[in-house]
Structure 1
Amino acid sequence: MMEERVRGKRPLVHHITNEVVMNFSANGLLAFGGSPVMAKEREEVADIAGAADALVLNIGTLRSSDVETMIAAGKAANEKGIPILLDPVGAGASTFRKNAVRKITEELDVAVVKGNAGEIAALADIPLKVKGVDSEESGDSTDIALRASEKLNTCVVVTGATDIVAENGNYTTSSYGSPLLTQVTGSGCLLGTLIAACLTVEDEKEKAVLFAVEFYNKAAERAEANSHGPGSFAVSLLDELGGDV
């Protein structure tokens, strides 16, 4: 099973991510079997990315200076041939965020872009209402995923009640999960981290992505059954990530 391969490798995943989710992402990756590093100082990111097995770029609390930092780390990752996961948090909320993602995707070879319908729609220039980092409309998630994948020329994951994984004009759906995921800050960001970890042990991107999505969402279902609300759910989710599918 892929989770066993991750735990055997214990991949080092370099995160340049938003400050709100660092702790949850790090603990979730540790539970899953990977090793996190959270480094975003411009002077060291190329060295860190060059020594890592995967790179996660998350624009949740983006500053102007972060864009060039992400690109520097991404170029080091591309030179080494390690996968990059881009999480365009709130991409539809502002022109600044949208332009930042455009610059990142133009300058880097990104393996996977993961986001909710509103975030991914913004990257495909599809009008969709957003409120902060959340999508107020779901739209046609399949169409959004396919159009964004074509425009960005990479694998795209649109998360929601049904998750869509699209690449090269094809798509796969998955409908596991728990509504409590929407009540825990950073739950979507942690999914990106797990996808990045799976990309380090599986060359077939769609297979790696779909496994991570379903493993994570099945863990969420088990966590919901053992919890009494969002707080206990978050703790239980970390416990379940250390288990099997």
Structure 2
Amino acid sequence: MRYKAVSDKGKIRISNEDNYYLDQTVPFFMVADGMGGHAAGEVASNIAVKICSEYNIDKENPIKSLENLTNKINNNIIKTSQENQKYAGMGTTFAAVFIEENNLFYVNLGDSRIYIFRSLDNKLKKISKDHSLVAQMLRNGKITKDEAFNHPRKNIVTQALGIQKDLDIDSGQKNLKNEDIVLLATDGLTDMLRNSELENLMAAHNDNFDKLADELLNRALKYGGRDNITFILLSRDNN
């Protein structure tokens, strides 16, 4: 399995409240974008990492297992914020995948994203559903994709771990073909690069993850680097 993980605080933020975790032996990969004042977002995303590192995926029922993991992180963040006033209101997005043979199982909450790039036809498809105000407006036909990309309120999430008990978890399963590339990313990357640019870069450098990761990060920074930038590239092939 090939993979490459990148996390950068960007050009504007003082600290990096994003986090990621991976275990290629499972294989399991996740990204989290923390939010909250006084670096509480970093605490929330760290909680997500810690629980993921201690959790065993039930391979008999992986989607349910990923949903249980998501709820466990959510409850832990809520408990921590209730016990310490300085963490009140903290939360984190959460996007994670578990791979078994040619099956990808995923879970998502918030506006971090999961994509599959199909190298056979150089097409990139977002498989996760954004939980955000702008995504809701887009799904309801109130704005266009171009308007969504440039919308001044696109940073407002409608769901995040640690904010409420009841979650509208986005989860599912996709079939992976040979040489497919999976991309997990926080909005520090996807708010800077349009889908077409992500697709073109992945088509140009799908055989070299180091080069591809450098290009993705450099473009996000070039376009302003307004947020923390975290992403993971992974593929089942061994090129």
TM range (shorter): 0.3 to 0.5
TM-score (norm 2): 0.37
TM-score (norm 1): 0.36
More helix by share: 1
More strand by share: 2
RCO higher in structure (CA 8 A, sep ≥6): 2
